[in-house]
Amino acid sequence: MATALVTGASRGIGRAVAQAFARRGDRVAVHFGRDRDAAERTLASLDGDGHALVGGDLGDPAGAQAVVDAAAEALGSIGILVNNAAVAPSAANAHRVDGVSFEDWQRAWADMVAVNLLGSSNVTMLVAQRMIAQGEGGAIVNLGSRGAFRGERDHPAYAATKAGLQAFGQSMALVLAPYGISVASVAPGMIATERQASKLEGVGGDDIRGQSPFDRVGTPEEVADAVAYLTSPGAVWTSGAVLDLNGASYFR
């Protein structure tokens, strides 16, 4: 039985990852940024017991420290970290360079860099040092994006931060391997989460599904299955990898 901190686990991919870990017997710290009610629903859905709820703003270094400290205290240790929390693309934070004010451009970049890249790197640093001190190895998985490779017209900061997160993971894979800690990333394409429901149900839904020759988008559970594998003892040799999960919708 392992102990795991899953950031951004209120719903969607984070919830599915927490559920997959709990099904295999892990104890999970469910992190949320703002939506405590949704995080409590995630917590209530988990198999087994010994799970915990931890809240905090990962865009604030002090908040990241508090989240890691609270998770470690609740679980007794942290053997797995999943960096899933992110400021996701939306109509409200679109910042296409040919149609945005400089003020909105700055805001979008600052928000996404603070959470997607700096927040994840801070949590990783804090958890990695705990893993090293524990002396029992561990596993870290970053949630990247297909957009890191193909670009994002309306949300370039999202693509850039996800590319940075994936590159950061490879740097961590190099330095943490001697401590028995593996670090890998997954790069999903479009996933059928609550956040994407309006896009998939709208007039462009068929076009989005048609990006994949399977004529559908991925599910949170498919991403969670991949994360569960990457954090299993048999997956240590995947350290440094970036696993594409996009249903053959993009090749690199």
Segment 155-162 shows an average pLDDT of: 98
- pLDDT for res 38: 97
Q: How far apart are CA 10 and CA 16, in angstroms?
A: 10
The band of 117, judged by pLDDT with boundaries at 50, 70 and 90, is very high
pLDDT in tens, 190-236: 998 877 777 788 778 888 898 999 999 999 999 999 999 999 999 99
**What is the pTM for the complete model shown?**
0.96
| Dihedral angle sign, alpha carbons of residues 236, 238, 244, 247 | negative
pLDDT in tens, 45-91: 999 999 999 999 999 999 999 999 999 999 999 999 999 999 999 99
Q: Are the C-beta atoms of residues 169 and 183 closer than 8 Å to each other?
A: yes
Domains and CATH numbers, the chain: 3-245 (3.40.50.720)
Distances (CA, A) of 51 to 19, 43, 129, 188: 11, 7, 22, 27
Segment 170-199 shows an average pLDDT of: 92
Q: Are the C-beta atoms of residues 34 and 59 closer than 8 Å to each other?
A: no
Q: Which residues are catalytic?
A: 145, 158, 162
- pLDDT for res 196: 79
